[in-house]
Amino acid sequence: MAARKIEEDAPSMIDTFKEFKDTKNIDRTTLVSVLEESFRNVIAKIFGSDENFDVIVNPDKGDFEIHRNRIVVANGEVQDENKEISLTAAQKIEPDYEVGEEVSEEVNFSKFGRRAILNLRQTLASKILELEHDSLYNKYKDRVGQIVSGEVYQMWKREMLLVDDENNEMHMPKTEQIPADQFHKGETVRGVVLRVDNENNNPKIILSRTSPLFLERLLEAEVPEIADGLITIKKVARMPGERAKIAVESYDERIDPVGACVGVKGSRVHGIVRELCNENIDVINYTSNIKLFIQRSLSPAKVTRIELDEESRHADVFLKPEEVSLAIGRSGLNIKLASMLTEYTIDVIRDVPENAGMDDEDVMLDEFSDEIDQWVIDAIKSIGLETAKSVINAPRDMLVEKADLEEETVDNVLRVLNEEFEK
């Protein structure tokens, strides 16, 4: 009974090979090569060499043949039983064999024993795994920068595991997820292929939803003019889930690139905004004139003038006091994105004569540094308020939101300033 089980093992393996071919879409030539090499590795271990063996594999039919070729030598002169056969033994196969002729004899692989069969299975499994890894790596290395979809399979604290339609694993680290993202097992998620690591021939596909490329690809899918090459996306800057700025350029003067990207009443960006968890998207016209580009990137603020240091890539931007908070934006997002988009360090400066508009009783904020922390003073000055009365007259909510300060801190500042004038 045991012998029969051994004999049945070999053909069942070919069924497995055929199933692998059907499910993994491995081409026939590659599959045959892998199977043949696996058989030859086992044969070489058993006989010391596979040079005189012919291995014929037919995965489509689920069968295989192994033939050993030996030279007929006179009786008693056999030195290598693997490559030579005595005349008497050869004539038992075919009576008319003579010395010097080659005998081809079919070998029953199952008779090599269970160990040989297990060895074959292990060798084949290793080669198939290697082949599968190569196939996966080659498939995704050419898709870096493209959007793919995957089903959420498992979620951990630091990353999320997804599977594609062929059950290939893809990873999305927490750092590549938008802060407001909330996914559940079985949900379909889109992301851009950020990179494919291949350490020890073990591909790991990394997806991202925070990369500027993700926004760029989403916009390309929504705007036909970009796909047609009439509009080019020149720069993208993102604070994922918060706000983004995109610089676009048209190669057809009849096409307004900003209008084409935004669409009628924002129709073309609405879907993208939803995909990105309500990330606000500003689209601006690109220009190679860096001063004009910086000016546009700081929209909606209106710039008075700009002084550039091209060598250090630094820009001093002068604005009227009422425009400063617009240029900086909530939590400094607008100026951060403008710096990312233009690749210039931008400093905002209030464009007013020294002490202009300050009455005789007003006091500069810096004079309160002994009672108010300097970092708090700097935060308030960053939104264009430099005197005590300008702060007292400003809405409390604006101080909390624009200067990004705690309510308790703002109340303390107002108390100190008001006490000064009560005196």
Give burial (CB, 10 Å; 0-12/13-18/19+) of 5: exposed
Confidence of residue 10 (pLDDT cuts 50, 70, 90): very low
In the chain the domains, ranked by start, together with CATH numbers, are 2-138 (3.30.1480), 152-208 (2.40.50.140), 214-284 (3.30.300.20), 365-422 (1.10.150)
**Close Cβ partners of 128 (under 8 Å, ≥ 6 residues apart):** 20, 34
pLDDT at 251: 87
356-388 tens-digit pLDDT:
444 556 778 887 887 888 888 888 888 878 888
**pLDDT of res. 120:** 76
Q: Is 67 exposed, middle or buried (0-12, 13-18, 19+ CB in 10 A)?
A: middle
Cβ neighbours for 204, distance < 8 A, ≥ 6 positions apart: 171, 196, 197, 198
β partners of residue 318: 305, 349
pLDDT number for residue 5? 38
Tell me the Ramachandran region of residue 94: left when phi exceeds 0, alpha when psi lies from -120 to 50, beta otherwise.
beta
Is pTM beyond 0.95? Reply is no
Confidence of residue 313 (pLDDT cuts 50, 70, 90): very high
Task: Write the pLDDT tens digit of every residue in 390-407.
Answer: 888 888 887 888 888 888
Long-range contacts of 102-107 (CB under 8 A, 24+ apart): 102/69, 102/70, 102/71, 102/72, 103/69, 103/70, 103/71, 103/72, 104/54, 104/67, 104/68, 104/69, 105/67, 105/68, 105/69, 105/70, 106/65, 106/66, 106/67, 107/53, 107/66, 107/67, 107/68
**Averaged pLDDT, 245-267:** 91
Gap between the Cα atoms of 214 and 75, Å rounded = 76
Q: From the centroid of its chain, how far is CA 95?
A: 68
pLDDT, one tens digit per residue, over 108-154 is 877 777 777 777 777 777 877 888 888 889 889 999 999 999 999 99
Across the range 44-65, mean pLDDT stands at: 82
Parallel/antiparallel/unpaired status of strands 159-163 and 147-155: antiparallel
